[in-house]
Structure 1
């Protein structure tokens, strides 16, 4: 496995959506998420991390060291138990008995928590990257239950306010025989954002990578590829056309960084062109990075 990363990174993901719903809000009938005070569109960090996980799961196909912890179809407890099995710990159905067993094992092996944490980090890419709360270990009073990952993402926010639209659609097929006697089609609706450019900010701590999860240079390269291509395996009619347009990476010269993250993000400029009234494509925006605001010790990489 490659060496653990030694540099702090900050990064910004610029992506757009055309005639789609980038992130529906279940509390609002699945309408696109919007800041009610400004009208700017919002995409949650959870939504973006889901797409990164799905990309890695697709390209690695369960390869050793690149399994995905947060994934539909397999319970988290079952994945947690794989760590117990690796250390030949028999799982007790009675919670109190299991807690007593773990307590006894930790007396003979004080490093058991660290060994289990390291095993889970080595097995699962998303734990190694984003961290996780592993309830099986938490329930058994183990310190390895909560892992803070080195990679963290913010909510994405659109550059300009968006105007979600409700589009009525019809279906020529009906569901039941009784429906067929009374109607020839059925109606429904879908919500879209006609167009919007979003930006999400991210942070990578080399300090946490070294001390906790072992996030490596190979993991970092995979993460960049996953971000750039995270919408390519996720196309759906409901999401319209989504694409990552720019990935701006700030590489610090050391583990702890050379300047505050916000100063680097302030160097990114995305503005609608003066002659554009209503933006409907990425070319309607001017994109630039003011390198004069970036310290010499920080390398700026644009993908």
Structure 2
């Protein structure tokens, strides 16, 4: 696709949380996610991508080419049908839609490519992260799964975190019957007093060119979204969260100049020697060992 990025990228995100729950675990009563072996805090890739999607939706407001495919209260099939209508298929029932798409595939071998291109052109998160489009899968079209050029791993805290359970009270009683017997109700809130988390990500120029058309404009918007992904998502439950560093590695060519792990290893984050229990970002030192980075790779600290 024309206009796609031409350079491979890797990036490191450092973000912290203070007195909040960055990513609750539904299998553990919504307590903060923690690696049971190391005690390090975890934040899933899905959680981070949700923040990025929310930011894009906030600033672009469904602008043409920047819609969001995976969002709250909008069935995926509704967006799938938009692409089908672009090819003249307008059935409203799922069964009829699937049959029509199968017929379309027989008469037009490139229908799956045209559907895929429509979704990539109109939905920013598909162009960025990829997607599995269920309607198309049922119709046996190859565009049902799009692999995106941008991938983000789990975030892991630099040091072990402690999940602290805080008891809270409220004066609003739920029912009239309860109000006859008590004046307050008790509750609990799970927080991490402080944690600095590190996530690593990848941007494939090869996939951008061959599949989704992820462009330079899309890339700049991605950096903006990562930097600001917590700024419009504040809540009492999540506490004080902020992105502290975005370190970007730009390769000189599409397939890259060195393995990604060498670049990630060049970023060292450690607490200061005199600090025992870190409680703020300033308790850490972030150092980039430039001697470990090939000359062809450009390093940029976005914050």
User: TM over 0.5, yes or no?
Assistant: yes
Please report the TM-score for the alignment, with normalisation by the length of structure 1. Answer: 0.97
2-structure distance, mates of 1:14, 1:176: 45
Q: Secondary structure at the match of 1:238?
A: coil
- The correspondence of residues 1-303 of structure 1 with structure 2, limited to 5 A, is 3-91=3-91, 93=93, 95=95, 98-303=97-302
Q: Secondary structure at the match of 2:268?
A: strand
Q: Secondary structure at the match of 1:37?
A: coil
1-structure distance, mates of 2:288, 2:40: 22
1-structure distance, mates of 2:248, 2:153: 15
Checking the alignment, whether the CA contact within 8 Å between 1:19 and 1:195 is kept in structure 2 is yes
Checking the alignment, whether the CA contact within 8 Å between 1:2 and 1:217 is kept in structure 2 is no
Q: Secondary structure at the match of 2:219?
A: helix
Checking the alignment, whether the CA contact within 8 Å between 1:2 and 1:218 is kept in structure 2 is no
Distance apart, 1:92 and its partner CA: 6.2
Distance apart, 1:292 and its partner CA: 0.4
Q: Secondary structure at the match of 1:18?
A: strand
Distance apart, 1:85 and its partner CA: 1.1
Q: Secondary structure at the match of 1:72?
A: coil
2-structure distance, mates of 1:92, 1:229: 38
Q: Secondary structure at the match of 1:104?
A: helix
Please report the TM-score for the alignment, with normalisation by the length of structure 2. Answer: 0.97
Unaligned runs of 5+ in 1: none
2-structure distance, mates of 1:106, 1:47: 36
2-structure distance, mates of 1:187, 1:181: 16
Unaligned runs of 5+ in 2: none
2-structure distance, mates of 1:234, 1:138: 33
Counting matched residue pairs gives: 302
Distance apart, 1:46 and its partner CA: 0.1
RMSD between aligned residues: 1.3
1-structure distance, mates of 2:185, 2:94: 52
Q: Secondary structure at the match of 2:109?
A: coil
Q: Runs (4+) of structure 1 moved beyond 6 Å?
A: none
2-structure distance, mates of 1:201, 1:230: 15
